[in-house]
Amino acid sequence: MTELHPDLRENVRMLGDMLGQSIRQHPGQDCFDLIEEIRAAAKADRRQESGSGQRLVSLLGKLGDDELLPVTRAFNQFLNLANLAEQYHGIRRKRGHPSDLMVESLGEVFGRLKEGGVSPEELHRRVAELRIEFVLTAHPTEVARRTLIMKYDEMSDCLARLDHDDLMPAERDEVIKRLSQLVTEAWHTDEIRHERPTAVDEAKWGFAVIENSLWQALPRFLDSLDTSLAEATGKGLPLQASPIRIASWMGGDRDGNPNVTHQVTRKVFLLGRWMAADLYLRDIQALRAELSMWQASDELRAVVGDSREPYRQVLAELRERLIRTRDWAEAGVNGEAADATGILFENEDLTSPLELCYRSLVACGLEDIANGPLLDTIRRAHTFGLPLIRLDIRQESTRHAEAVAEMVDYLGLGDYLSWSEEQRQTFLVKELQGRRPLVPRHWEPSEPVREVLATCGVVAGQTPEALGSYVISMASKPSDVLSVILLLRESGMKYPMRVVPLFETLDDLRGAPDSMAALYNVDWYREYCQGRQEVMIGYSDSSKDAGQLMAAWAQYQAQEQLTRVAGRHGIHLTLFHGRGGTVGRGGGPANRAILSQPPGSVNGSFRITEQGEMIRFKFGLPQLAVQSLTLYTTAVIEATLAPPPEPEDSWRATMDWLTEQSLDAYRSVVRENPDFVPYFRQVTPEQALGKLALGSRPARRKATGGVESLRAIPWIFAWTQMRLMLPSWLGSDVALEQAARDNRLPELREMMNGWPFFRTYVDMLEMVLAKADLRIASYYEKTLLDDDRLQALGASLRERLQGCIHRLLELKGQTELLEGEPVFAHSMRVRNPYTDPLHYLQAELLKRDRDGEGQGKVPELVERALKVTMAGIAAGMRNTG
């Protein structure tokens, strides 16, 4: 059995001891002893020692209201500290442990590609033209409060300092003292948000990720990429290359979130410019100290004359303009009149003086100086720009159709919503080709339409560098795209913004290739998009709609066909992957996911959402961010230059057969069984999730309705909390069972060996099955279900889960789950004694909470403890939605 790495085990033990000491001090020794007794019972229960399960349940059942909160908080806090230790361990650079670095280096990948026949010229061209864009979303899955995240970050710094072998005893004692203080501070800090963050708060959190991590990480990563590329091809990165881009939905995603208005979006644009100006000011101040030399090129002398310190003079002028820019943006954020005289607005205003200094230093033979901090700032300027992030706008397609319909109706041109798609396209293209304004001067639109137009007006006032994509959810027809372009033009947009249809449901994915072909057939549109198109693939809603196996196959086929359609029309396609953190939402190890995409679909460009706690796990610390950027970049380059082979025709037929089985099995439960929704509502904490102030967005698209109205995140969150993990395996159980009965497992093993897509799917299924827990799911049912029919449904689902595990082990030739992932398996085992009590407590607290609501009053301590169990289980599972 694989154990934790000794250094990781020591850090987990040290942090746990510090937490224990904090608990001994307050609430006291008795509470600490009780927590230890519960933990010991949970461990014994996992070892299946006689009577241990009853002892654990008995201990938890005797807790008084005043004991609930410290006990739940203790287990929650330990799981957060274990996460912290694991996260740091993944990036530690301690001597003698090279195996700790899990990410293959850029140099290794470049070498392998060259050995495989990729020429140095082709490798250099592809890397220089690379476009990878990370879109930080506001999806509410980050449970931990920002104040605690900041403490955890400093704890990581302390662990890093303790890794130095040359520390003096007094220095070591000082670090340990500070670490202990931070653990105590965390213990005495409320881990639950009591007020829902606003959309602007979410945007600030996204900006903080850039300020605290990516600002340092990006130049480090690009320096590594530059060096590796030069070693592999003889040439480094071009000065203006920006292979990495950062975009955001925070403050721009209004689909189903009435809290995101045009005023919010305007404020977020200004906040980005304010923070960017402040960050660049710090860089410029440091550069003025660095660039004290007097040698300068004729080009620079033509600008500064006979200045003794020419670089400092250029930077001083840039500093003054940055100060004006910061003050202008700050005034705008505060709603005050702002003087825009002399501000930096276009990106070239920032990059030109910096590149002038760079060229001068190189011309004077001072390349080493040019390639220092100055190059770092130039790379930041090309990546983040003056807006800091590229803000996406997302809105639902019917909102745009309604806006056009109101205009058409006011002008007496007919009933737009009743027109055929052909009529709509003809009208929209004619208006787009014409020059007259469509919006009437004295027209008073309805409030929803006024908001759509006001948003378009805010967008039209930005520079191209400030904008990502305009994403249209529930898009299915060319008119959905053309109407957005028309509304933007009517609002004053002077250049073509990327307008991106999002295909989410199973039917949408199947219809996507024909929809895009129809759009490419519009001559005006082909000219507008200038040979480049982005299409977004939705993972969450397709999985909720059709089950994980069917959704994965539909996504794969849609990407294949979209790539072919774009190729036929001479258009470069970028696929935008709307993945979540969990397997049920398209999550999982990023490099394996990218390398299993259809051949040709990753063609030097890749866009992906990063959300909630996954932003912190991937980009929360500078070293971690460098590692993540390296992992994504190597995968995208390899998928571009050495794509996987096409699957065999027989494998496609088998996938069609498997997914027919899985789709029917999934929908027969989720859509057709009348007991399913009552079971879901009663056995999971879905109804209580609204108590967690996770994000600015409502949990439901509509206030009423069944599973179809529930957002994908709480859908996944709820099943994860009670460990049935249903969305990730339901349907696959029947498909695998039928495959075994029909003697198809040998062919499935061939598919695993020869087809990265199928191998990745099976591995992700194994990972999620390892997180499922039949005993815990059964306990929730026993505690929360009174109805015999609902209990029978639960028993059948658990039996199906057991069957799925059995067939997966048979398929992989294993005796237990995660045989090939021993470190992950051991990590789960270490967490179980801490997550188990939280599960048992949550089931009991849900019962008390519901009883209290039935009587009109829920005790505050019960509600707070319930929230803490949800946060703790999310930490133990390492993801929420």
Predicted local distance difference test score (pLDDT) of residue 51: 84
Pair 873, 839: CB distance under 8 Å? yes
pLDDT tens digit sequence for 162-176: 999 899 999 999 999
Q: Give the other-Cβ count within 10 Å of 487's Cβ.
A: 27
Predicted local distance difference test score (pLDDT) of residue 588: 57
pLDDT tens digit sequence for 368-378: 999 999 999 99
Mean pLDDT of the chain: 92
Predicted local distance difference test score (pLDDT) of residue 335: 94
Predicted local distance difference test score (pLDDT) of residue 541: 81
Q: How confident is the model at residue 584 (pLDDT cuts 50, 70, 90)?
A: very low
Question: CA 278 to CA 272: how far, in whole Å?
Answer: 10
Write b or e for each residue in 192-226: b if 16 or more Cβ atoms lie within 10 A of its Cβ, otherwise e: bbeebbebbbbbbbbbebbbbbbbbbbbebbbbbb
Q: Which residues pair with 577 in a beta bridge?
A: 537, 608
Task: Please choose, from the candidates 471, 487, 478, the residue with its C-alpha nearest in 3D space to the C-alpha of residue 438.
Answer: 487
Q: Tell me the backbone φ, ψ of residue 590, rounded to 5 degrees.
A: -65, -40
Residue with more model confidence, 78 or 165: 78
Question: CA 436 to CA 439: how far, in whole Å?
Answer: 9
Q: Tell me the backbone φ, ψ of residue 253, rounded to 5 degrees.
A: -85, 100
Predicted local distance difference test score (pLDDT) of residue 256: 80
Question: CA 540 to CA 43: how far, in whole Å?
Answer: 35
What is the arithmetic mean of pLDDT over 715-740? 96
pLDDT tens digit sequence for 30-39: 999 999 999 9
Out of 16-20, 194-198, 459-463, pick the least confident.
Answer: 194-198
Question: CA 476 to CA 246: how far, in whole Å?
Answer: 27
pLDDT tens digit sequence for 432-472: 999 888 887 789 999 999 999 999 999 999 999 999 999 99
Q: What is the DSSP-derived secondary structure letter of residue 738?
A: H
Query: In this prediction, what percent of the chain has a pLDDT beyond 90?
Result: 80
pLDDT at 717 over 50: yes
Task: For Cα atoms 484, 470, 546, give the angle at the middle one, nearest 5 degrees.
Answer: 100
pLDDT at 123 over 90: yes
pLDDT tens digit sequence for 494-538: 999 999 999 999 999 999 999 999 999 999 999 999 999 999 999
pLDDT tens digit sequence for 625-668: 999 999 999 999 999 999 999 999 999 999 999 999 999 999 99
For residue 788, the Cα-to-chain-centroid distance in whole angstroms is: 40
Residue given tokens 């995968």 in the structure block: 635
Strands 467-473 vs 390-396: parallel, antiparallel or unpaired:
parallel
What is the arithmetic mean of pLDDT over 583-610? 82
Out of 389-403, 504-518, 645-659, 696-710, pick the least confident.
Answer: 696-710
Pair 865, 190: CB distance under 8 Å? no
Q: How confident is the model at residue 102 (pLDDT cuts 50, 70, 90)?
A: low
Task: For Cα atoms 734, 738, 741, give the angle at the middle one, nearest 5 degrees.
Answer: 145
pLDDT tens digit sequence for 31-68: 999 999 999 999 999 998 888 888 999 999 999 889 99
Q: Which residues pair with 470 in a beta bridge?
A: 393, 499
Pair 506, 554: CB distance under 8 Å? yes
Predicted local distance difference test score (pLDDT) of residue 880: 46
| Helix %, strand %, coil % of the chain (to 5) | 65, 5, 25
pLDDT tens digit sequence for 470-495: 999 999 899 999 999 999 999 999 99
Q: Tell me the backbone φ, ψ of residue 611, rounded to 5 degrees.
A: -135, 155
Pair 391, 248: CB distance under 8 Å? yes
Residue with more model confidence, 779 or 196: 779
Which of the residues are catalytic?
139, 544
